Structure 1
Amino acid sequence: MTGIRTDSVFARRPFRAHTDRFYSALGERYGLPAPSAAGLRTTFADMVRTLRALPGHPLHEEHATELVVLAHAGTDAEASWPAPVLSAQLPGVRRAFAVSDLGPVSGFAGLEVGGAYAAAMRCDRAVVVLMDQDRPIVRAEDRTTWATRAVTLVLGGEGPPLGHLDVSVTRGAAQTPGLPPSSPPTTGAWWHLPDTLPAVEDVVVTGYDPTSRCAGRCRIVPAGRQ
């Protein structure tokens, strides 16, 4: 890993009327409120467009990125499909796709799958973006704290290495006793990581999704100890 940054300033807007009607009808049988009842929001596609336009952000450096992986805890409340939006805005990227529906483990899965693709494609540089939004459609009893923010990790490319990532996702795992939940789910475990890197000792990030019974673990070995 050669870079990591956090972003939390994104424009907000009302739900689009046609998608609000669609998802309201879809969620009615499950007792879910209309998306518009949650107020203004930012879609994952909106977030991708914002990050792409930020000078200095890894997605802004189009010529240097060969692979982009997006990761978010669940499906966007609007049908905005962020990966195709990103592909259209980064025509030079060889592959861009998203990993979702694994709750707090989505980021770990994105890094694991992204690393496998980067190796198979022999990429010099890959970017993994973990995203949360503060207006998801969830059940009323969901007590997760949500926020709109992104954590971007750069794998390879130019720049001094921050450390080597050893990422694993274990299916059918039991939750480790005492493991705190990530809030918001995708970025929660990673949000303060830039403050701890570069590090002298190994840094370990963990996450667990009780719905899929998947556990994620990422060990960051300092560059000088590899």
Structure 2
Amino acid sequence: MSGVRLLRAERGRFTGRAGVLDDDGHRDEVAAYFADMARPFGVEPGSEPAGQSYGEMAKALVAAVPADEPVDLLVLAFSVHDMWPGRATATYLSHLCPGAPLSFALCDQGSATPFTGLRVIRAHGARRALLVVVEQASLPYASTAPLPVEHRGVALLFGGGPDDGSEGLRQHTGVEPGAVPGLASAAVAGLSAGRDARVVLSDALAAVWPGPPDHVRIPAGQPTTGVWWHLAGALGASADVVVLGDYDPGLRYLSFAAVPVRA
């Protein structure tokens, strides 16, 4: 089978701080760690750690994978780091996931990270693969990076087979805002041609290319999970394919993916 199809999806909002931070000793250690890491860059620590742990968040999402549907590959995608430094979170999630899949994490690509995760899944050719996209909304120091409004996570279970990673995906680097409309129009046209497609744009992409009126525009506030949250809710929708589009204005990454959502 070529490419991947969305089989199952789970999404969740999380409140409060990570459970691991309820321990006074561990919270102090985490605060000291981030203070030491930030200080060489002239950034002083702010409030005490109050964010979320991706291991704790994703544990609830991974539990949605049925025990009789083992997973071969798990990819954890995030942009903002979590509040449990030093933990091998992807390995921990592999231990929880049916099938004990090969697992690893992707980061440092901004909002393009989940798209790269999907590219890896397609190229790997796993029978079943789980893409976990997470973001938490609190850092214990000042940051110029846009933080999400809420702690959110999405788990997407895909089925498929080997692929070269290109069909159904478009990723461009070094894209200035003025070049976005032309590339975006071509990508959406190519990915939706001959299909009953729903097109979903992140707020950052819609700001420089709103597209036709029938395109769905995701509200601001969730820079990493935004379009993927919508995809999780679109499983079984009337459209055959959901075309996701996102633009990272800081890193100049422009990404698109076409995901079949109906058998």
Q: TM class, shorter-chain normalised?
A: 0.7 to 0.9
Q: How does 1:84-95 map to 2 (within 5 A)?
A: 84-90=91-97, 92-95=99-102
Does residue 22 of the first structure (1) align with residue 60 of the second (2)? no
Does residue 46 of the first structure (1) align with residue 63 of the second (2)? no
Change (3 A) 1:5 1:94: closer
Distance 1:135 1:62 in 2: 36
- Deviation, 1:21, is 0.5
Change (3 A) 1:214 1:195: same
Q: 1:217 pairs with 218, 242, 256, which one?
A: 256
Q: What's 2:246 paired with?
A: 207
- Deviation, 1:31, is 4.1
Runs of 4+ in 1 over 6 A off after TM superposition: none
Q: Deviations over 1:89-109 (max 9, x none)?
A: 348324111111111111111
1:112 touches 1:168 (CA, 8 Å); kept in 2?
no
Change (3 A) 1:200 1:116: same
Question: If you compute each CA radius of gyration, which structure gives the higher value, 1 or 2?
Answer: 2
RMSD (CA atoms): 3.0
Change (3 A) 1:63 1:190: closer
Does residue 189 of the first structure (1) align with residue 227 of the second (2)? yes
Counterpart residue identity of residue 50, structure 2:
L
Partner secondary structure for residue 131 of structure 1: strand
Equivalences, count = 208
Change (3 A) 1:190 1:137: farther
- Deviation, 1:183, is 2.8
Q: What's 2:152 paired with?
A: 149
TM-score by length of 1: 0.76
2:174 touches 2:253 (CA, 8 Å); kept in 1?
yes
Q: What's 1:180 paired with?
A: 203
TM-score by length of 2: 0.67
Q: How does 1:41-190 map to 2 (within 5 A)?
A: 41-52=51-62, 54=63, 57-58=64-65, 61=67, 64-79=70-85, 80-90=87-97, 92-117=99-124, 119=125, 123-136=126-139, 139-156=142-159, 166-175=168-177, 176=180, 180-181=203-204, 183-190=221-228
Q: Extract unaligned runs of 5+ from structure 1.
A: 158-164
Partner secondary structure for residue 190 of structure 1: helix
Q: Extract unaligned runs of 5+ from structure 2.
A: 1-5, 161-166, 182-200, 205-219
